[in-house]
Structure 1
Amino acid sequence: MSDPQVVASRYAPPAPARRQLWKAAIKWPMYSVAVMPVLLAAGWLLGQGQALRWGQLLAFLLAAVLLLAWENLANDVFDADTGVDRLGKPHSVVNLTGRRDRVAVLANGCLGLGLVLIAVVAARSSPAVLALVLACCGLGYAYQGPPLRLGYRGLGEPLCWLAFGPLATAAALLALAPAAPATAIPWRTALLLGGGPAIATSLVLFCSHFHQVAEDAAHGKQSPVVRLGTAPAAALVPWFVALTLALQWAPVLLGRWPLTALFGVVGLPPARALIQLLREHHAAPEQISGSKFLALQFQAFNGLGLACGLAVGPWLSRW
């Protein structure tokens, strides 16, 4: 093939292996991190006795999925530019297709469509919704895109917490609230509601570094695991879990949330498995490549448990 964007390989994997790579590239379980702020806001509002605006909920969920698709595809594009994914990530969409240009177009299309949906949601609620989501997208670009590439400086986790925590949760609270115009961004509620689950989301990103330390270090990507080393980084994982739960349990102990908010403990089994896996095999990339999916199970079950607990708490208290 003469097109320099097309990568022709004489050693293409067989069809079953290629299907597995595409499954890994799509990363559909990862979209739980995108929808969680919306589900948490919905659970909170239901627990406050407020009626949800279901059209807003569905539109926001779809927009969140599209914007995370942009994030994932753009990450593959930008990492292809630095070469960090060339050997260590065969399931990169750029590596699978050999077409950086087309993947970039698809990524930008997801971004554009997602922002159009958010603009519609904002027009039906508050202009602050669009501003908050744009701030999230800006952080997402700063994490991976030139010239900042803050993820290469070990700053991905705090950016992740900020975007998927108070910013996205505040946007969702405004978008789903009853139709009366919102007068202010609910920062306090967004921080209380989204702070803990966003730590679990940041843990997913943190665990994605363990199996690619050598590749990251070789290409100048100073992830926290590269900076700390695998053993000290693995020792931090229980603290991620503990802090996630502490921020969710504190409002219960203070009487601000119902006891059912403790339903988030359903995420503990995968968290325990993750801690054990990384404690025993932190330096064995081939054995811990799935650690981020254990972190993702913790994030998903914990967040869903919290959202459901907040929603049903007042209803159960009547019995």
Structure 2
Amino acid sequence: MSSNPGVDAKKPPFIGLWLKAMRVPFLQATFVPVILGGVVAWEIAGKFSWPTFLLTLLGASLIQIASNMFNDYFDFKSGNDLQVRHQNPFAGGGRILTADLIKPSTHLIVSTSCLILGSLIGFYFIFALGLYQLFWFGLIGVVSTYFYVGPPFKLAYRGVGEFLVGLNFGPVMTLGAFYVQTGSLASATVPLLASIPVGLLIAAVLWINEFPDMDADKAVGKKTLVLRLGYLRSVAVYVGLLATSYFLVLLYAVLKIFGSFPITSYTTLIALFSLPFALKAVRILRANYKDPHAIIPANANTIILHLAFGLLAIVGFVIGGLVGL
């Protein structure tokens, strides 16, 4: 029987169960920056290796899976997810543990194994290929993965979780993917600038997903920034995250027109075509920020926005590389 009355305890098939536990659909948070870093390496340096790219994607995905599962494990142990009574699929964790579908000990073993495997791939790049600066990217990722909600630091409880998510799934992964392709960070300005809007948008995904969890977070002392700021100011910050992402795309293009600016492709402006998702999400959030059910379309549109914006920017770099714009 489920320990959470708001969760359906019917056990899904084995594969589906573990895909849900790993929260595989949310791996777009990794796919977008890793692909972006690889494409930028090809576009500005003419370097791209498929085996290296696929190994990078695998390693980064394993780290995210570990992060997803650690978060669920520690939120379950703290009682955080047990406080969630609503049925918003984008909040309250994966709900595998609260529904008693997997033993917590097994869940922890799998998450730890994913962290170790992802780290081993990183060590291969560092020591076998001599990419020593990757150590620092990996260190940020591994520390964030475990201590995001894990003791003793519980970083998400201290109001820095949103920053860490934006940093890791923006600049860290993009620059890491760029570095393993080129072997150098000498031209890192372009991937860094390209990664900032992506990082802001994935932070926005976490940000809006924290609205339905405010009561549960408050009950266990998880002082997220959304909880600290309250509803109205948090809505304003969310709008600011989205607006800044689009502003940066426009700013990069304008600066390139009027001077020497390192972003090399005007064609990245096609990322602006994702704007309808942003407008819809903002409209729904403003009208329903206190309703964990009515806010669901805004949660979904923010996730779609991150994916659409990221893929369009990637396509923009590809087009720019092919036609020389």
Scaled to the shorter chain, the TM-score interval is 0.7 to 0.9
> Normalized against structure 2, the TM-score is what?
0.85
How far has the Cα of 1:10 moved from its partner?
11
Q: 1:152 and 1:290, CA in 2 relative to 1: closer, same or farther beyond 3 A?
A: farther
What is the aligned partner in structure 1 of residue 105 from structure 2? 101
Letter in 1 for 2:8: P
**Which one of the candidate residues 34, 39, 47 is aligned to 2:35?**
39
Q: 1:276 and 1:55, CA in 2 relative to 1: closer, same or farther beyond 3 A?
A: same
What is the aligned partner in structure 1 of residue 227 from structure 2? 226
What is the aligned partner in structure 2 of residue 119 from structure 1? 123
What is the aligned partner in structure 1 of residue 50 from structure 2? 54
Q: 1:155 and 1:90, CA in 2 relative to 1: closer, same or farther beyond 3 A?
A: closer
What is the aligned partner in structure 2 of residue 130 from structure 1? 135
Q: Does 1:92 align with 2:95?
A: yes
Letter in 2 for 1:121: F
How far has the Cα of 1:17 moved from its partner?
8.6
Q: 1:299 and 1:30, CA in 2 relative to 1: closer, same or farther beyond 3 A?
A: same
**Long gaps (5+) in structure 2:** 85-91, 257-262
Letter in 1 for 2:309: N
| Aligned residue pairs, count | 308
Letter in 2 for 1:303: G
Letter in 2 for 1:136: G
Q: Secondary structure at the match of 2:251?
A: helix
How far has the Cα of 1:167 moved from its partner?
2.1
**What percentage of residue pairs aligned between the two structures are identical?**
24
Q: 1:16 and 1:74, CA in 2 relative to 1: closer, same or farther beyond 3 A?
A: closer
Q: Does 1:244 align with 2:245?
A: yes
Question: Deviation string for 1:22-47 (max 9, x for gaps)?
Answer: 87655333111112221111221232
**Which one of the candidate residues 99, 110, 114 is aligned to 2:114?**
110
What is the aligned partner in structure 1 of residue 269 from structure 2? 262
Q: Does 1:311 align with 2:302?
A: no
Q: Secondary structure at the match of 2:294?
A: helix
Q: Does 1:217 align with 2:218?
A: yes
Q: 1:260 and 1:212, CA in 2 relative to 1: closer, same or farther beyond 3 A?
A: same
**Long gaps (5+) in structure 1:** 1-6
> Normalized against structure 1, the TM-score is what?
0.87
Alignment of 1:120-159 (within 5 A): 120-122=124-126, 123-124=128-129, 126-159=131-164
What root-mean-square deviation, in Å, do the aligned CA atoms of Structure 1 and Structure 2 show? 2.7
Letter in 1 for 2:129: R
What is the aligned partner in structure 1 of residue 294 from structure 2? 287
For residues 14 and 157 of structure 1, what CA distance do their matches in structure 2 show? 31
Letter in 2 for 1:31: L
For residues 65 and 311 of structure 1, what CA distance do their matches in structure 2 show? 23
Q: Secondary structure at the match of 1:210?
A: coil
Residues 144 and 151 of structure 1 are in contact (CA less than 8 Å); yes or no, is this contact kept in structure 2?
A: yes
Q: Secondary structure at the match of 1:254?
A: helix
Residues 271 and 308 of structure 2 are in contact (CA less than 8 Å); yes or no, is this contact kept in structure 1?
A: yes
Q: 1:31 and 1:222, CA in 2 relative to 1: closer, same or farther beyond 3 A?
A: same
Higher mean C-alpha deviation, range 162-171 or range 219-228: 162-171
Question: Deviation string for 1:265-309 (max 9, x for gaps)?
Answer: 232222111101101100111222453332111111111111110
What is the aligned partner in structure 1 of residue 72 from structure 2? 76
Q: 1:21 and 1:227, CA in 2 relative to 1: closer, same or farther beyond 3 A?
A: farther
Letter in 2 for 1:286: H
What is the aligned partner in structure 1 of residue 259 from structure 2? none
